[in-house]
Amino acid sequence: MARRLAPRGGEWIDRNRPLEFSFEGKKHTGFAGDTISSALWASGRRLLGRSFKYHRPRGVFSFADHDVNVMVQDRALLNIRADVTPLEGGQKLKAVNTVGGLKMDLGQVNNRLARFLPVGFYYKSFHKPAKLFPYYERLIRSAAGLGSVTPGEGRRHWGKGYGFADVLVVGAGPSGLAAASAAGEAGAKVVLVDENARPGGTLTYAENASGGADGMLADLLERIENNPNVDFRADTVASAHFEEHWVPLVHREHGMTKLRAGSVVVAGGAMEQPAVFRNNDMPGVMLGSAAQRLIHRYAVKPFDRGVVLAANSDAYGVVLDLLKAGVEVAAVADLRHEGEQSELGDAVREAGVRVHTGHCVYEAKAAKKGAGVGGAVIAPLDVQNNAVPSRAFEVGCDGICMSVGWAANAALLAQSGCRLGYSEDLHQFVPAELADGIFAAGRVNGVYRAEDKVRDGERAGTLAARHVGKGGAADAPAEAPRHAGPAPSHPYPVYDHPEGMAFVDLDEDVQLKDIKNSIQEGFDSIALVNRFATLGMGPSQGKHSNTNGIRIVARLMTKTIEETGTITSRPFFHPVPMGVLAGRSFHPARRTPMHRRHEERGAVFMRAGDWFRPEYYAAPGRGREEAILGEVRAVRRGVGLIDVGTLGKLEVAGPDALELVERICTGRFAKLKVGMTRYALMTDEAGTITDDGVCARLSDDHFYLTATTSGVDALYREMTRWVKVWGLDAEVTNYSNAFAAMNLAGPRSRGVLSVLTGLDLSEEAFPYLGVREGAVAGVPARVMRVGFVGELGYEVHVPADAGLHVWDAFTEAGEASGIRPFGVEAQRRLRLEKGHVIVGQDTDGLTNPWEANLGWAVKLDKPFFIGQRTLKILEKKGGEEEQRGGEDRRLIGQRTGDRKLAGFALLDGGEGPRPKECHLVIEDGEIIGRVTSIAHSEALGKVIGLAFLPADRTVGSRFQIRADGGALVDAEVVKVPFYDPDNSRQKGAGQREMTYQGGKA
Amino acid sequence: MEGAVATRSPVHDALERLNPAWGRIGPTRAALHFGDPEGEAALKERLALCDTSALKRFGVKGPNAQRWLEDHGIGVPEPANTWSPLPDGQGLVARLGRNEFLVEDGPEGSVTEGLGDSLNSGARGIYPVLRQDAAFALTGGRAGEVMLQVCGVDFGSLDYEARPVVLTRVAVISAVVLPRVEGETRTFRIWCSSPYGVYLWGELRGIVEEFGGGVVGLSAVYGGE
């Protein structure tokens, strides 16, 4: 531990808990409480990472969660920010952005080629010739990603929950602690968050600069600890602000809390900003606050001999801290010609430190051995703040601290709708107009003295509590204390160098010359420079680059900072790991009551919306096709049982139930007899098919309406809305989840059902399309005779909790008849043989009833239904077409050139390439239609399907379908239904022995 | 062929895997405990999840539903989205809207029995609602923390004296939540559509266990064997 200091009061490390870890294959030891960077720096390492573009060496720089060039990977966990992530024993760390390791990184070649890689290089280069684009894409993707994914690594889950507070205080520095205390004491429930491991902010490291810190932190912490209304959360980043004070709080271990607050106090402080000079990115060059954090929190000596670049009082506090830590301060270069006129300045001078006022650090020189700084070139400044290199001199050192100014941590303020204005007194953006319920305190408000920050926090906390009705009329000034004395920030700490490498943005290696070149190329606003030069687009989101970027653009464009404006702050202003965003990833799934039986029978499930449905039932030694074919045969020859519980099921009751059904459905139901069902089709106002099902009349004012699995929720919402809009006396109840349903289908279905029910199933008593209520297997049931699959069939609906009982009863009762469960795929094939349309599969968002051959279900002569007006217009157009000599409009659609859903069969008997659903119909190289359903029919011995075709294609017309690989497959329009065209099987011929043409046994 | 009808909780299979001591509420099997009644009683105070789907319930809606319930001796709460206890102290009646009600018996209750039959007369403005809920109880000192993981409602801000009922989303599915505070014990009753039962049970159970809780039987929540 080469740089570890002797124990000191207030340090965050636990020296009794040493932790061993490795970095780049070498073993190190740190302490519990260390961050990864502090432990490495303490061990004497200076090269901690590589920059993104040029792979330049990087070390500790901000030490404030912005050192994005020092991200590391611990086995499967990537892109760990080493500057703030706690050290853990056993970590096996390596830098993320290297080729062949950190020390011998082959990517360093980019640094040598830097002059050939100017700003915008890859926008201009990597797009031609076009044939090389795949190569470029791989190259860029490879270069752009950080870290390497570990395939096969299990998913790690982070929590993601909600939270609520009267007042959220962001930042637990002196102003945040005071704000939280004041709000809590006013009776508000307060959540106080800070991204650091401990509260205190600047009081935990900048003891000289803050002034009056003795006892202040202890007092503030005591107030917080004694206040039960304040909930303090460490290591937590308030990473964005959304409408109505929704703020995602991100904790690296616990995940995200979506906190909704009544009011928000932003006391996030200010972020120290670097100066721009040549090689300002070298390991050893760091912000003054970074050096102070190393010393005070982690007891790490930043370097042995240093130079401090100063432009404010804080710099002199840094000098004193360095001296106390045993660092030799070789020189102070103060950008201000007047220097520091304060007790701090006197103390530094009295310590014998050489202070060069009106000087800058012009260049950092590399050490002769190892990575990092070996010296600082100090140059005087002229009255225009330009460096005078001819009078520069070099000072040997292994570290340079920069304390030249601050930028308000105002992203949350900006996202909340606050207006920020530039203060020429502070050289900093401060809130000019706050949004409702938003309050600012401390440095973000331009308040820098510790006592003032506490007063400002008290003020903001009191106002925030009052905003949520807590604390009555407690006295609180509306305005923040005004800053007195010299500005804490320098207006332009930027010093150009003819040899470049003066970095404005370390994330993306954006140099000063890159910004100049961007503007020369016409990107003449901060927003354009931001994008073209990637200024502020790295993981730190410009936290230490935007301020200087704006200053440089303003200078080059000869505008004021106010005129230049700011870079838009968008959520999330601090990057959030994808895993945290994903959180628990709720994926709702619905299972029918028979799910367990399906599993036991080897069901292969498919998702229908969020339902699990058996696609087919697999069996050992039987392939998918064979299994499905077996299920089809069972239905056509004997009896099959399918779980249709996912169907939509709506009950409509009340005096206006009929009226509602009439208005929602296109057909006519007034004359539907009690005990009968009828096909029901629904359209929207544009006449487009939205859903279909069966409408059963249970009594004069009581209907039971089925709908599609995916469409029922929308249908239910619409029906309940229309009930209110039309003022109907009817109740609609969605029973889709409450009823289990199963379809018993096949010539032997009647026999199986008769074992379980006392209902009279005779043809006369229970005809095709009838509905009956009665007990099935002892359970109250609704039984409908429907024929979706084209066989004698009964759809049985029972309460969900009895679903499994009834299913088991059918299975047992049908055993002698060879009953077999069948899945969705068999059902689709069976219905396709009948030419039955599946809404959503055979229709799309534009299909009207005539296009789908469902015109017979539309009764335009009834008083009203949704979509009627549009369909009447279409029919009129169809009539005009007819007068012009067009063909039968019911068959070919309504408008010239329109499409229709037509049945087809492949001409090759299915021997060649097999088209699939959604494959296109091609004619003369043009798309003229598409396949909506296709399958091999064993009954017909050929491949059949439905396809949208031009409306003028009649039976016998031939066309071609483009299958996978581009093969064109010949097909012919044929009549539908393909199978049992007179519907004798489903209508009641079930009592007779019927001949099934397909297959063998 | 018509044997005794066996009805099941939507999460019956998940409970069965925990090897419960089964009891019966009407025709439905209910998990009474999982072999450690005393441990479950302690768990209930800390954090526990219980399947209450087997409890008998009855739904009714329509403009005349309130009067009809009152005619049957069931007092209903006046404001929408509130609840009141049934006389036995274990059952409850929740008002899910202006004209919709959920009546649920406790394990020993019988208020819901026969209510449906009496509606078959076809009274105007009264519509029975078949209730086939998956129903759970989340209880214990940390129950509120679990709810914050799955629901965006600020239950801490509700007026519990007013006996609120919240129609919301829990783990992104629609649910009815009835929060209660009795002494130090917080309980959330949750009802959702039965097909989502397995899903919601799994999500809640996972979070409950993550927070140091576990599954308990009906006896831990309602007492009895």
* CA separation for the pair A946, A738 (Å, rounded): 34
Q: How confident is the model at residue A996 (pLDDT cuts 50, 70, 90)?
A: very low
- Shared domain check, A749 and A637: yes
State ipTM: 0.96
For chains A and B, CB pairs below 8 A equal 115
Q: Is residue A124 part of a domain?
A: no
Provide, as residue numbers in chain A, all residues whose Cβ is less than 8 Å from the Cβ of B130.
Answer: 735, 738-739, 799
Q: How confident is the model at residue A1 (pLDDT cuts 50, 70, 90)?
A: low
User: What pLDDT is recorded for position A893?
Assistant: 47
Tokens 């006046």 label which residue?
Answer: B78
Q: Which residues contact A134 (CB under 8 A, 6 or more apart)?
A: none
Residue A153: how many CB atoms within 10 A of its CB?
A: 10
B174/A contact by beta carbon, under 8 A: no
Q: Are A398 and A307 in contact (CB under 8 A)?
A: no
- Shared domain check, B83 and B43: no
Q: How confident is the model at residue A339 (pLDDT cuts 50, 70, 90)?
A: very high
Provide, as residue numbers in chain A, all residues whose Cβ is less than 8 Å from the Cβ of B127.
Answer: 653-654, 731, 733
Nearest to A586 among B1, B6, B203 (CB): B203
Specify the CATH number for the domain of residue A616. Answer: 3.30.1360.120
CB contact under 8 A, B130 and A801: no
- Shared domain check, B190 and B79: no
Residues A395-428 pLDDT 10s: 999 999 999 999 999 999 999 999 999 999 999 9
Query: Mean pLDDT, to the nearest integer, of A943-955?
Result: 93
B193/A contact by beta carbon, under 8 A: yes
Mean pLDDT in chain A? Answer: 92
- Shared domain check, A764 and A633: yes
CA of A734: which chain B residue's CA is closest?
B129
- Shared domain check, A742 and A614: yes
Is residue A249 scored above 60 in pLDDT?
yes
Least confident span in A448-452, A479-483, A660-664, A827-831: A479-483
Residues A501-522 pLDDT 10s: 999 999 999 999 999 999 999 9
Instruction: Give the gap in angstroms from C-alpha B184 to the nearest C-alpha of chain A.
Output: 18
Q: How confident is the model at residue A884 (pLDDT cuts 50, 70, 90)?
A: low
- Shared domain check, A17 and A49: yes
Provide, as residue numbers in chain B, all residues whose Cβ is less than 8 Å from the Cβ of A723.
Answer: none
- Shared domain check, B96 and B137: no
Query: Mean pLDDT, to the nearest integer, of B95-115?
Result: 93
User: What pLDDT is recorded for position A207?
Assistant: 63
Q: Is residue A232 part of a domain?
A: yes
Residues B26-80 pLDDT 10s: 999 999 999 899 999 999 999 999 999 999 999 999 999 999 999 999 999 999 9
Percent of chain A with pLDDT over 70: 95
- Shared domain check, A412 and A398: no
Q: Count H helices and E strands in chain A, helices first.
A: 27, 47
Q: Of A547, A576, A605, which closes a domain? A: A576
User: What pLDDT is recorded for position A885?
Assistant: 52
**A303 φ/ψ angles, rounded to the nearest 5 degrees:** -165, 180
Q: How confident is the model at residue A633 (pLDDT cuts 50, 70, 90)?
A: very high
Helix or strand holding residue A564 (H, E): helix A561-564
User: What pLDDT is recorded for position B184?
Assistant: 76
Q: Is residue A484 part of a domain?
A: no
* More confident position, A863 or B114: A863
CA of B53: which chain A residue's CA is closest?
A801
CB contact under 8 A, A161 and B124: no
Query: Mean pLDDT, to the nearest integer, of A847-861?
Result: 93
- Shared domain check, A105 and A3: yes
Q: Is residue A936 part of a domain?
A: yes
- Shared domain check, A382 and A338: yes
User: What pLDDT is recorded for position B118?
Assistant: 63
- Shared domain check, B88 and B43: no
Specify the CATH number for the domain of residue A950. Answer: 2.40.30.110
User: What pLDDT is recorded for position A154?
Assistant: 81
Structural domain tally of chain B? 2
Residue A324's domain comprises 274-404
How many C-alpha atoms does A483 have within 13 Å on its Cβ side?
A: 21
Specify the CATH number for the domain of residue A538. Answer: 1.10.10
Is residue A51 scored above 90 in pLDDT?
yes
Mean pLDDT in chain B? Answer: 92
Specify the CATH number for the domain of residue B140. Answer: 3.30.1360.120
User: What pLDDT is recorded for position A213?
Assistant: 66
Residues A92-151 pLDDT 10s: 999 998 999 999 898 888 888 888 888 888 788 887 788 888 888 888 888 887 888 888
Residue B119's domain comprises 57-129
User: What pLDDT is recorded for position A215?
Assistant: 86
**Which tokens is A344 given?**
């701090």
Angle at A798 between CA A797 and CA A799, to 5 degrees: 135
Q: Is residue A667 part of a domain?
A: no
Instruction: Check residue A196 and report its DSSP letter.
Output: S
Residues A738-777 pLDDT 10s: 999 999 999 999 999 999 999 999 999 999 999 999 999 9
CA of A164: which chain B residue's CA is closest?
B154
B40/A contact by beta carbon, under 8 A: no
CB contact under 8 A, B194 and A593: yes
Provide, as residue numbers in chain A, all residues whose Cβ is less than 8 Å from the Cβ of B7.
Answer: 799, 801-802, 805
* CA separation for the pair A452, B101 (Å, rounded): 58
Least confident span in A349-358, A877-886, B158-167: A877-886
Nearest to B127 among A260, A653, A809 (CB): A653
CB contact under 8 A, A739 and B132: yes
User: What pLDDT is recorded for position A483?
Assistant: 86
- Three-state DSSP class for residue A90: coil
- Shared domain check, B189 and B82: no
Residues A682-694 pLDDT 10s: 999 999 999 999 9
Specify the CATH number for the domain of residue A337. Answer: 3.50.50.60
Q: How confident is the model at residue A995 (pLDDT cuts 50, 70, 90)?
A: very low
Residue A592: how many CB atoms within 10 A of its CB?
A: 27
User: What pLDDT is recorded for position A337?
Assistant: 96
* CA separation for the pair A422, A425 (Å, rounded): 9
CA of B154: which chain A residue's CA is closest?
A164
Residues A173-229 pLDDT 10s: 999 999 999 999 999 999 999 999 999 999 999 865 444 566 899 999 999 999 999
CA of A778: which chain B residue's CA is closest?
B2
User: What pLDDT is recorded for position A802?
Assistant: 96
Long-range (24+ apart) CB contacts under 8 A made by A874-882 are A874/A687, A874/A848, A874/A850, A878/A850
User: What pLDDT is recorded for position A116?
Assistant: 81
- Shared domain check, B146 and B45: yes
Q: Of B129, B164, B182, which closes a domain? A: B129
Q: Which residues contact B127 (CB under 8 A, 6 or more apart)?
A: A653, A654, A731, A733, B60, B61, B62, B65
Q: Are A263 and A223 in contact (CB under 8 A)?
A: no
Q: Which of B41, B34, B36 is nearest to B17 (CA)?
A: B34
Which chain B residues in 194-223 lie under 8 Å from chain A, judged by CB atoms?
194-199, 203, 207, 210
Residues A641-691 pLDDT 10s: 999 999 999 999 999 999 999 999 999 999 999 999 999 999 999 999 999
Q: Is residue A280 part of a domain?
A: yes
Q: Are A505 and A521 in contact (CB under 8 A)?
A: no
| Reported pTM | 0.89
Is residue A158 scored above 60 in pLDDT?
yes
- Shared domain check, B70 and B31: no
Q: Of A361, A388, A404, which closes a domain? A: A404
Structural domain tally of chain A? 6
Residues A911-921 pLDDT 10s: 778 999 999 99
Instruction: Check residue A11 and report its DSSP letter.
Output: -
Query: Mean pLDDT, to the nearest integer, of A351-366?
Result: 97
User: What pLDDT is recorded for position A897?
Assistant: 44
User: What pLDDT is recorded for position A890?
Assistant: 45
Q: Which of B211, B195, B163 is nearest to B53 (CA)?
A: B195
CB contact under 8 A, A591 and B172: no
- Shared domain check, A944 and A818: no
User: What pLDDT is recorded for position A498?
Assistant: 95
